[in-house]
Every structure is written in structure tokens, then in C-alpha cells.
Amino acid sequence: MFKFSKRIGIDLGTANSLVYLGGEGIVLNEPTVVAVSTIDNRVLAVGNEAKEMIGRTPGNITATKPMRDGVIADYVITEALLRFFIDKICGQSRVFKPEVMVCVPAGVTSVERRAVMDATLSAGAKVAYLIDEPLAAAIGSNIPIANPSGNMIVDIGGGTTEAAVISLGGVVVHNSTRVGGNKVDDAITTYVRKKYGLIIGEHQSEAIKKTIGNALHPKTSEIKSMEVRGRDGATGLPRTIVLSSEEATIAMQDPLKKIIGAVKAVLEQTPPELASDIIDKGIVMSGGTSQINNLDKLMTQETGVPCHIAENPLFSVVLGTGIALENLDLYKRSVSKR
């Protein structure tokens, strides 16, 4: 039977949102940022265009992130964001409403789940499906989740870290901590302010993390440095300092410890049979923040379990969401529908 309605999978992340279109693959990858006019509450820009406005807007425009710690912080703006994605793919005058699957952190409450469902339906979906983020990440990382053996996935996004042990198509043990890439950026901002009295913005702290950030203390020969520009806390004037990768490592220690703590908590609760499977196969890491230099080595060192990064860590969740949507019969036990 020919299907007229499109199938759309959305990974609504705290930092980035990715959209998968059935039959085509990933069609959109935009920052989860919306610029709104404070005068009439009109949405002025979404995604990359809105991200450029953060910290640079006049008084009558605010650039906000509607998702905080992986859940909806601003319902109206999240709905506008979902509508923008659906309109961009299906066109504004659509005859057939699409089927939409959104992934949510495994640790969210039933109220938060309902909020995502409602926002998706209000944004123009015919049917809304929800899938847990660790399951989507595991499917997208090519982990055979239906087998009766333990697989462990750690998805480290912008707002949350989800660690889960999956067997027979379901989550056996999971732990979620609201610490991710954003908290790492905040830790760098705080460190630079305390040590150098320099106030830096979001873009700058993210650039430090990506350019010279290292989860392990670098060897003397591997120490890199970069120029950091910001505003002097005392004089209020622009100033530039040079920051080393050793300092970036020190700045990031606290949030990284919390992420590893979440992983350890899952390993402690894992049934012995599944634990032995995980030691054999190792832990798979996905999510943009898993790409921090040497984070997989630090995780291996701290847990004693081999860790490796998924093939497409940034896209694992959205690919898994798309695969689950295209094969609903296979994954219907893992998905909730409305």
C-alpha cells in the first residue's frame, strides 16, 4: 500500500536538533535555538541563524534554548521549533500530516513525556511516537538490541548523559544525569573567570572545549594552547589571554567526574549475567560530547571496562529514531504512541 504521509524522526537535543526523513536519511542539523521578538512573541529565527544572535541581540529580541537538560523548558517555543522542522520538510500547505517520532531521555517523567507528545501533535503531526534516547542511540550505533545479551550504551549530549544496559529490545538498567556538554562549557567559563578575571561567552567556552579540551592530563609534548578573548571583569574592557590544554583539563574535571559517576551507577546495578556480556563487548559511547579528546580512555581507566566511540556519535540517536520509525513492527514494544 502506498503511503502518502511522510515519516519524520526528530532528535530534539539540548544543543542540536537533527531531523531524519524516512527514505532519505538525515535532512536537517540545526542548533536548538529560537530567536523571539519580545514585543509580539513572534518567532524571528530558528537554528543556525538564531544561534548567531546569542549574546548579540538588542533588547526587543531574545535568543533562547527551549530545551534544558534534555526536556522542554519552554513549551510554546518548543512547539514553534517542531513546527518549523515539520514545515521545512513537508511544506506549510500539506494535505497529509506526517507521522513523527521524537526521542526523549529515559529518565523523564510522564508529565514531561506528555509535554513532548502534545507539542508534536500541536505542531502538525498526525501521530506522535516517543522512543527512549538510549534505545535510539543503540539502534543507531548498530547494536543488536533484540538479542538476549547485555549491551551498554552511554549517550552524552548537550544537556544530559544517559547510560543504559539494553537486552531483548528493552532498557534493563538506566541512569540519567543532567550533566552534558553545556555543563562542561559552564565549568570552563567559571575557571577562566576565577583564574583570570575574564568573562567569556558560550561560543568561546565551546571553542576551548573542542580545540584544546582533553579529558586526560596531556603529556608535556602534547600541550596545546589557544588565544581566548573576553571582557575583563574588573575594567570591563576587552582582553585576550592564552589558555593551555592542561588548564582546560583541570577546568573540565568536575562535570566529567559526574558523567563517569552515572556510568558507574549503572554498572553497579547491572545483573551479573549482563555484566559479563558488557565486559566482553565493552561500552559504546555516543552523543556529541563523547568526542571530547580522550574521554573514552578516561572512561576505560575509571570503570575498568573497555569503551569505544560509536561510528557516527553525533548522529546515532537520530539514525536510531529513523530506523525505529521505518521498522515500527520490529520496535513497537520499545515505542509509545499517541
Query: Both 129 and 270 in a single domain?
Result: no
Non-local (6+) Cβ contacts of 124 within 8 A are: 83, 86, 87, 90, 94, 97, 98
Dump pLDDT digits (tens) for 193-217: 999 999 999 889 999 999 999 999 9
Cα torsion through 260, 265, 271, 272, rounded to 10? 60
Residue 39 assigned ligand-binding role: no
Does 104 map to a domain? Answer: yes
Query: Both 132 and 147 in a single domain?
Result: no
pLDDT attached to residue 93: 65
CB 32 within 8 A of CB 39: no
Does 1 map to a domain? Answer: no
Does 150 map to a domain? Answer: yes
Query: Both 16 and 100 in a single domain?
Result: yes
Residue 62 assigned ligand-binding role: no
Provide the percentage of residues in the chain whose pLDDT is more than 70.
Answer: 98
Dump pLDDT digits (tens) for 16-51: 889 999 889 999 998 888 888 888 878 888 888 888
Residue 206 assigned ligand-binding role: yes
Range of the domain at 92: 7-136+316-337
pLDDT attached to residue 156: 94
Mean pLDDT estimate for the chain: 89
Pairing verdict, β 198-199 and 225-232: antiparallel
Query: Both 149 and 285 in a single domain?
Result: yes
Question: Which residue did the predictor score with more confidence, 90 or 140?
Answer: 140
Judged on CB neighbours under 10 Å (0-12, 13-18, 19+), 95 is: exposed
Query: Both 332 and 202 in a single domain?
Result: no
**Element containing residue 207 per DSSP (H, E):** helix 202-212
Query: Both 54 and 106 in a single domain?
Result: yes
Non-local (6+) Cβ contacts of 293 within 8 A are: 213, 214, 215
Instruction: Report the number of secondary-structure helices (H) and strands (E) in the chain.
Output: 11, 19
User: From its phi and psi, is residue 282 left (phi > 0), alpha (psi between -120 and 50) or beta?
Assistant: left
**Residue 153, Cβ neighbours under 10 Å: how many?**
32
Residue 60 assigned ligand-binding role: no
Judged on CB neighbours under 10 Å (0-12, 13-18, 19+), 288 is: buried
Residue 158 assigned ligand-binding role: yes
Query: Both 168 and 251 in a single domain?
Result: yes
The residue assigned the cell 561560543 is: 203
**Element containing residue 178 per DSSP (H, E):** none
pLDDT attached to residue 106: 81
Confidence of residue 1 (pLDDT cuts 50, 70, 90): very low
Non-local (6+) Cβ contacts of 61 within 8 A are: 35, 36, 37, 38, 44, 53
Query: Both 196 and 294 in a single domain?
Result: yes
Residue 209 assigned ligand-binding role: yes
Query: Both 103 and 189 in a single domain?
Result: no
How many structural domains is the chain composed of? 2
Task: Tell me, rounded to whole angstroms, the distance of Cα 48 from its chain centroid.
Answer: 16
pLDDT attached to residue 304: 95
What is the domain-level CATH number for residue 116? 3.30.420.40
2 pLDDT higher than 70 = no
Query: Both 130 and 205 in a single domain?
Result: no
Q: What are the cell numbers at 8?
A: 519524520
Tell me which range, 50-54, 56-60, 202-206, 217-221, is most confidently predicted by mean pLDDT. Answer: 202-206
Does 2 map to a domain? Answer: no
CB 299 within 8 A of CB 198: no
Query: Both 256 and 322 in a single domain?
Result: no
Of 330, 333, 321, the residue nearest 11 (C-alpha): 321
Residue 163 assigned ligand-binding role: no
Dump pLDDT digits (tens) for 249-265: 999 999 999 999 999 99
Dump pLDDT digits (tens) for 294-311: 999 999 999 999 999 999
Does 210 map to a domain? Answer: yes
pLDDT attached to residue 306: 96
Residue 38 assigned ligand-binding role: no
Pairing verdict, β 127-132 and 99-104: parallel
Bridge partner list, 286: 155
Q: Provide the whole-model pTM.
A: 0.88
Query: Both 161 and 108 in a single domain?
Result: no
Dump pLDDT digits (tens) for 77-115: 888 888 888 888 887 766 788 999 998 888 778 888 888
Average pLDDT over residues 50-61: 82
Does 166 map to a domain? Answer: yes
Residue 259 assigned ligand-binding role: no
